[in-house]
Amino acid sequence: MSSEPGEPPNPLSHRVPDLGALELLLAVARHGSLGAAAREVGITQPAASSRIRSMERQLGVALLDRSPRGSRLTDAGALVTDWARRIVEAAEAFDAGAQALRGRRDSRLRVAASMTIAEYLLPGWLIALRAERPDTAVSLQAGNSAAVAERLFAGEADVGFVEGLAVPDGLDGVVVAHDRLALVAAPSHPWARRRRPLDPAELAATPLVLRERGSGTRQVLDAALSAHGGLAQPLLELASTTAVKAAAVSGAGPAVLSELAITEELASRRLVAIPVEGVLLRRDLRAVWPAGHRPTGPARDLLSLTRG
C-alpha cells in the first residue's frame, strides 16, 4: 500500500520479503517439508518456521498449511511462490552479472609508479602478486610523482606509488616504505676525498646532476635546501634515476639519489657517498589512489603485499 499524502514513503524493502525468506519458501514448495527446506538453506527448523511466520505477517496472508504429514502451500502461498521464483531468478542473474564485472576488474591491474619505486621495489611486489593472482595481467607505467597523480585522476591507473613529501591533493594514500637520499660522486671527484661532511649551504650552491621538477627526489631536495639559498642551477637535469646514476658514475658531477638505487655502485666503488650534515634527506614512499576510492581487487592485494 502506498503512503498517504504528507506521510514519509514506506520503502519497498519494508514491504517485500527478503531474498532469504523467498528462497526458503521455494525450498518448502520443492520438498513439501519445512524441516527439509530448513536443511537445504542451512538453518534450523525453528528458525525456518519463524521466518515463514514473519513473512506471513508481512504479507498479511497465510502461505502454508502445516500438518504432521508436512507443509502444503495455500492458494495464496502458491501464488506468492510463483512470484518468488521470478524474483530469485532475477537475483541469480544480478549475481552472475556482478561476478562477471568482478572478473573483468580482476583480470587486469594498471599500476603507475614513480621511478625509484618502479625500478627497485615494484618488481618484487609484482612477483609476489603473480603468485597469488596468476591470471591477472599487470601493466606498469613509470614516471615522476606528478605524472602518477595525473594518471590516477585520468582513470588510467588503478593504484599509484609516489615518493614526494606528502600525498598530492585529491588523492588518499598510505606509507608503504621509507627511503633516504644520498649525495654521491665518482671516485675521481674532489668530494670523494674530503674528510669532513658538506654543510647544506655548500651543497645548495653546487650544480648537481638532478632529476626533473615534479619528481619525488627533486621535491625532497628542494624542500631540504630551501632554507639554505635553494638549489643552484642544475649541472644536468634528467628524467630517470638510471640516467642520473649513469651520469654520476661517468664523472659528470655529484648527484643525489635514493639509497635503494645505489647499493651495487657503492659496493663496487663506482660511486662514493659524500656525507652531508645539517640537512634531512629522508622521505616516505606511499601508495596513492583517488580520494574516497580505496583500492579493490588486485590493487587491494598489491597494497597488502607492499605492507607485508
- Domain boundary assignment for the chain: 12-104, 105-307
Neighbours of 143 (CB within 10 A): 20
Q: Is 1.10.10.10 the CATH classification of the domain at 12-104? A: yes
Q: Is there a shared CATH topology between the 12-104 domain and the 105-307 domain? A: no
- pLDDT value, residue 12: 78
Q: What is the pLDDT of residues 95-140, one digit of tens each?
A: 777 776 666 556 789 999 998 899 999 999 999 999 988 988 899 9
Confidence of residue 9 (pLDDT cuts 50, 70, 90): low
The span from the CA of 151 to the CA of 138, in Å, is: 16
Q: What is the CATH number of domain 105-307?
A: 3.40.190.290
pLDDT at 3 over 60: no
Give the confidence band of 90 by pLDDT, cuts at 50, 70, 90. confident
pLDDT of 1 > 50? The answer is no
Q: What are phi and psi of 253, to 5 degrees?
A: 165, 170
What lies within 8 Å, CB to CB, of 301 at 6+ separation is: 129, 132, 133
The per-residue pLDDT for range 45-70, each reduced to its tens digit, is: 999 999 999 999 999 999 998 877 77
Q: What is the pLDDT of residue 244?
A: 95
Query: Is 80 exceeded by the pLDDT of residue 4?
Result: no
Cell 671516485 identifies what position? 187
Mean pLDDT value across residues 173-198: 93
pLDDT above 80 for 178:
yes
The predicted-structure confidence for 272-298, as pLDDT tens digits, reads as follows: 999 999 988 888 999 999 999 999 889
Residue 112: beta bridge partners?
Answer: 141, 160
Mean pLDDT over 150-173 rounds to: 91
